[in-house]
Chains A and B, each alone.
Chain A
Amino acid sequence: MAFDLTIKIGGEGGEGVISAGDFLTESAARAGYYVVNFKSFPAEIKGGYAQSTIRVSNKKLYTTGDGFDILCCFNGEAYEFNRKHLRPGTVLVYDSSDFEPEEHEGVVMYPVPLSHLAKDIMKAYITKNVIALGVLCGLFDIPVQSIKDSIKAKFLRKGQEIIELNYKALETGINYVRENIKKLDGYLFPPAKEPKDVVIMEGNQAIAKGAVVAGCKFYAAYPITPATTVGNYIVEDLIRVGGWLYQAEDEIASLGMALGASFAGVKAMTATSGPGLCLMTEFISYAGMTELPIVIVDVQRVGPATGMPTKHEQGDLYHAIYSGHGEIPRAVLAPTNVEESFYLTVEAFNLAEKYQIPVIVLTDASLSLRAEAFPTPKVKDIKVINRWVYNAEDDPEGKFRRAGRFLRYALFTEDGITPMGVPGDPNAIHAITGLERQENSDPRNRPDIRTWQMDKRFKKMEKLLREDAEKFYEMDAPFEKADIGIISWGLTASATKEAVERLRSKGRKINALYPKLLWPLRVDILENFAKSCRRIIMPESNYSGQLATVLRAETRIRPISYCIYRGEPFIPREIEEFIEYVLENSYIEEGKFTPANLYGEKAYGLI
């Protein structure tokens, strides 16, 4: 039986809303369900509204869905924020010792005096969130044992007394339901299955783990929301594999340091968000020119300028693809979910090392905070590529040396890739410079040398397209000729997948393409896909439809853009409704649309 339930918990920051969500997420994974969790908290240090949305299912999940089935409000503010989404069929569990909600047509309401139970029965206000979990267990048959296991694991270090206190809080919630509440809704967790071998990671955590698996040994950090947590997650892991994280004085320095480490022979990375990426631009150019492998993670947030630091947008694509002075060989990768954040980070290092180029990983604020359970990666099975380090023994004829000088930028290799000399090796002493230069690194302005060196650098990109690009195009095109073809990237692709599934189950003929490599582009793959569709729709969370614009420039595809830029990601229903809209309006062949085109002024109150 299909089981798919979304629980949203809201309350005051600091009341344990987020950790209650984390308990639920871990318990669900432990009990063998698929689970996705999205949390958001205020930009303030303390207080403000915090929420956690947990979707649990027995089938693979792409998003936290369109809304929620069950809303659990720890206070009146959480209710005020969410009341407009209480539609018939949803359930409201609320702290009746804090506030009394209005009547809502078709909404089942369960008043529970959470604060009273915590303060007067448990005599410990901090247990309010676990009491609430108990209430949810009692109401919806959430496997109690798996919650208990999560509590035990979390508080193991704090001692048996704390564990017992929390068990008691859980029981208090369960008992309250048993003694006082008559169940009026139909939501129930099915019995727990055999637990799967999974890990639970947040987006930024997956990037950190991926980097360590790829062999990263140096990370230069400068704090910026929402990228900072990549550093928080990697710092101790990095030390445990013999590496180091250095907190730089600014973003310029952090990329400079990472490039220094890379020159010294060590795999290095940095992570930042839009404003930081702007500062790094000159060094991105330098990395391309000097052919230093480097991974730069850009956790996109709403711009321009300081924009909305904690909110989602896909607004940095142009910057990732085009930024920098001159023309720079580079690759841009964009994961669509947490699991891919892990694997694509490994791939980013592989591409950087193989082609000696800067590789930018584009994620976003929402993906950075989203947690997912996914099959445990097996490190042994993950392919890790290391750079070509010069070894004089492999070069008995001295091809890569001329007049005693190492030819770091030799022009005779077919693919433009030349071995790197690592300090300490007497046979590979060389200079690197951002100036155009001869094969032996001497700066030169000659037209022929300039042309050959440009060709050398861009030959690497041709090889990348030939050998590595195809696997980054996730194709889901079952129809020989579909009515609609969807191309979407990043977190939007996750919402799109769900929309596509729903539409197909209604009989709509839709093909989909999810590119994870956004630069360079395999034009042939994109155009062939477009040929299999009557019209192409591209949902993106940015104002101008950035990937659509890039495709208009680079391919013959003429897409219909659907753009939102409110600081929140798409929900599947929005994409579903837009596709239906395009299907109904056959005259629409290309152009740019926003929710206002569909809903008029109502669009502003949609979410």
Chain B
Amino acid sequence: MLEVHLKPADYKSDVEPTWCSGCGDFGVVAALTRAYSELGLKPENIVSVSGIGCSSRLPLFVKNYSVHSLHGRAIPVAVGIKLARPDLTVIVETGDGDLFSIGAGHNPHAARRNIDITVICMDNQVYGLTKNQVSPTSREGLYGSLTPYGSIDRPVNPIATMLSYGATFVAQTYAGNLKHMTEVIKQAIQHKGFSFVNVISPCPTFNKVDTFQYYKGKVKDINEQGHDPSDYRKALELAFHDLDHYHDPNAPVPIGVFYKAELETYEDRMQSVKRRYKQVEDVQELIDMCKPKAL
């Protein structure tokens, strides 16, 4: 049921994005505001949290409560917000560097605990705001200002990683397909539990390899091809092929919902623990516990 009827434009703030023209992240704002609109969410009940980087400016461009936090730290801030206020819709908008490099210590724990937040990673396989360094998802051989010889690191597989951490909703979508993005983001927000969406969002300025041109014709919707997202093992198997296109020019880039499971969330478990404890009427009781014990 819709809470309100607002148009996508009503969820845009009057702060103009500072992104380069042709940036995939514009598409993410469009998909996100559409998703908000179609889900009928009230702007005041949404909190957008980000870290640092090009993508992480996103919360400033949408109309909702926004936290533009620190390098790699969006997830802890989001977890604090969600646990303090389970009634809010909490969305993390972040980038591949933030999520899989500097902040890589945080997402496993929010995922394995199934905290009901949505993490959208705008993956452009490069550090843009610091002007062209390779990121954890960069393909081997990509040139960056710190790797003039071409990257010699192997890339992280975002989908397989998040599946193995225990995320209960894992999907990939593509900034060149607004309809698909909107649909996947909607599902992710609606999902009860930790949801992860990797958005392939090409960088027109620094990444001259993984471009819209490159992805066009390569992206294939796995759900259309019959993948059942409730099958965890199948999801993992598919995920292993996520990076094949780096080595095989004919390999497709899979998009769609890899995995989805309705499991108890951390918040549910927290509430059931709380019910086991008797609430105090007056905090004085807690102080009086420290008196020499009454007989």
Pair B282/A26 contact, Cβ less than 8 Å: no
Nearest chain B CB to A120 CB, angstrom units: 32
Chain A, Cβ-Cβ closest to B73: A256
Chain A stretch 190-227: residues in CB contact (< 8 A) with chain B: 195, 197-201, 205, 209, 212-213, 217-218, 220
B286 on the A face (CB < 8 A): yes
Q: How far is the CA of A150 from the CA of B15 in the complex (A)?
A: 66
A506 on the B face (CB < 8 A): no
Q: How far is the CA of A434 from the CA of B68 in the complex (A)?
A: 7
Binds A, one of B27-35, B83-91, B219-227, B233-241: B83-91
Contact with A along B270-290 (1 / 0, CB 8 A): 100110011110111011101
Nearest chain B CB to A411 CB, angstrom units: 19
Number of contact residues on A: which range applies?
A: 35 or more
A562 on the B face (CB < 8 A): no
A252 on the B face (CB < 8 A): yes
Contact with B along A239-277 (1 / 0, CB 8 A): 111101010111011101111111111101000000000
Partner of A379, one of B59, B83, B287: B287
Pair B88/A379 contact, Cβ less than 8 Å: no
Partner of B77, one of A26, A249, A260: A260
Binds B, one of A92-100, A175-183, A425-433, A594-602: A425-433
Interface centre among B42, B81, B280, B290 (most CB of A within 10 A): B290
Pair A240/B277 contact, Cβ less than 8 Å: yes
Chain A, Cβ-Cβ closest to B291: A199
Pair A150/B67 contact, Cβ less than 8 Å: no
Chain A residues within 8 Å of B49, by CB: 260
B63 on the A face (CB < 8 A): yes
Partner of A429, one of B64, B83, B288: B64
Chain B residues within 8 Å of A200, by CB: 290-292
Pair A239/B277 contact, Cβ less than 8 Å: yes
Pair A264/B68 contact, Cβ less than 8 Å: no
A403 on the B face (CB < 8 A): yes
Chain B stretch 33-90: residues in CB contact (< 8 A) with chain A: 42-45, 47, 49, 59-60, 63-71, 73, 75-85, 87-88
Pair B45/A241 contact, Cβ less than 8 Å: no
Pair A26/B292 contact, Cβ less than 8 Å: yes
Chain B, Cβ-Cβ closest to A197: B291
A460 on the B face (CB < 8 A): no
Known: A240-B286, A423-B44. A264 touches B279 (CB 8 A): no
Pair B47/A423 contact, Cβ less than 8 Å: yes
Pair A240/B279 contact, Cβ less than 8 Å: yes
Chain A, Cβ-Cβ closest to B78: A260
B106 on the A face (CB < 8 A): yes
Contact with B along A24-43 (1 / 0, CB 8 A): 00110110000000000000
A399 on the B face (CB < 8 A): no
B247 on the A face (CB < 8 A): no
B294 on the A face (CB < 8 A): yes
Nearest chain B CB to A541 CB, angstrom units: 28
Pair B280/A240 contact, Cβ less than 8 Å: yes
Nearest chain A CB to B116 CB, angstrom units: 14
Contact with B along A145-183 (1 / 0, CB 8 A): 000011011101000000000000000000000000000
B295 on the A face (CB < 8 A): yes
Pair B76/A209 contact, Cβ less than 8 Å: no
Pair B290/A199 contact, Cβ less than 8 Å: yes
Contact with A along B138-156 (1 / 0, CB 8 A): 0000000000000000000
Q: Count of chain B residues with Cβ under 8 Å from any Cβ of A?
A: 57
Interface centre among B67, B283, B292 (most CB of A within 10 A): B292
Pair B76/A426 contact, Cβ less than 8 Å: no
Partner of A425, one of B13, B44, B278, B284: B44
Pair A432/B67 contact, Cβ less than 8 Å: yes
A376 on the B face (CB < 8 A): yes
Q: How far is the CA of A442 from the CA of B83 in the complex (A)?
A: 27
Known: A260-B67, A283-B70. A199 touches B287 (CB 8 A): yes
Nearest chain B CB to A271 CB, angstrom units: 15
Known: A249-B106, A423-B65. A201 touches B290 (CB 8 A): yes
Q: How far is the CA of A236 from the CA of B280 in the complex (A)?
A: 11
Nearest chain B CB to A252 CB, angstrom units: 7
Chain A, Cβ-Cβ closest to B43: A429
B105 on the A face (CB < 8 A): yes
Chain B residues within 8 Å of A423, by CB: 44-45, 47, 65, 81, 85, 88
Chain A, Cβ-Cβ closest to B48: A431
Pair B286/A149 contact, Cβ less than 8 Å: no
Interface centre among A205, A236, A424, A426 (most CB of B within 10 A): A424
Pair B79/A246 contact, Cβ less than 8 Å: yes
Q: How far is the CA of A584 from the CA of B294 in the complex (A)?
A: 53
Chain B residues within 8 Å of A266, by CB: 84-85
A466 on the B face (CB < 8 A): no
Chain A residues within 8 Å of B47, by CB: 263-264, 423
A498 on the B face (CB < 8 A): no
B109 on the A face (CB < 8 A): yes
Q: How far is the CA of A405 from the CA of B277 in the complex (A)?
A: 42
Contact with B along A126-156 (1 / 0, CB 8 A): 0000000000000000000000011011101
Pair A154/B293 contact, Cβ less than 8 Å: yes
A340 on the B face (CB < 8 A): no
Partner of B273, one of A153, A239, A443: A239
B14 on the A face (CB < 8 A): yes
Q: How far is the CA of A154 from the CA of B295 in the complex (A)?
A: 10
Chain B stretch 241-289: residues in CB contact (< 8 A) with chain A: 270, 273-274, 277-280, 282-284, 286-288
Partner of B292, one of A150, A377, A403: A150
A462 on the B face (CB < 8 A): no
Pair A435/B68 contact, Cβ less than 8 Å: yes
Chain A, Cβ-Cβ closest to B288: A376
Pair B66/A253 contact, Cβ less than 8 Å: no
Known: A426-B42, A432-B68. A259 touches B77 (CB 8 A): yes
Chain B stretch 81-127: residues in CB contact (< 8 A) with chain A: 81-85, 87-88, 105-106, 108-109
User: Which residues of B approach A to under 8 Å, CB–CB?
Assistant: 13-15, 42-45, 47, 49, 59-60, 63-71, 73, 75-85, 87-88, 105-106, 108-109, 270, 273-274, 277-280, 282-284, 286-288, 290-295
> 12 A–B contact pairs at CB < 8 A?
A149-B295, A156-B293, A242-B274, A256-B77, A257-B76, A260-B49, A260-B82, A266-B85, A428-B44, A430-B65, A432-B67, A433-B66
Additional pairs, 10, CB under 8 Å, beyond known A246-B79, A424-B44: A201-B290, A218-B84, A249-B76, A252-B73, A259-B77, A259-B80, A282-B71, A426-B44, A433-B68, A435-B68
Q: What are the 10 tightest A-B residue pairs by CB atom distance, in nearest-first order?
A: A260-B80, A153-B293, A256-B76, A257-B80, A431-B66, A261-B84, A433-B68, A199-B290, A253-B76, A260-B77
